[in-house]
Amino acid sequence: MREQLKQALEILKRAEQNPEDRELFRTAVAQTLAVGVVTTTEAARGMHIPRPTLERWSSGASAPHHFFRLSVLRWLKEKAEEKLKEPLKKLLATIGRAEQNTRDDRLFEAVSGKALRAEVVTPREFARKYGMPLSTVERWRSGLSVAHVALRPRIYRWLKEKTEAKLKQ
User: What do you get for the CA distance between the two ends of the chain, in Å?
Assistant: 20
Rg (CA), the chain: 20
pLDDT digits (tens, 9 = 90+) for 147-166: 999 999 999 999 999 999 99
Q: What pLDDT shows up at residue 169?
A: 82
pLDDT digits (tens, 9 = 90+) for 121-142: 999 999 999 999 999 999 988 8
At residue 9, does pLDDT exceed 90?
Answer: yes
Q: What pLDDT shows up at residue 110?
A: 94
Q: Return the percentage of the chain with pLDDT > 90, whole number.
A: 91
Q: 60 exposed, middle or buried (CB, 10 Å; 0-12, 13-18, 19+)?
A: middle
CA 11/CA 49 separation, integer angstroms: 22
Q: Where are the beta strands (DSSP E) in 9-145?
A: none
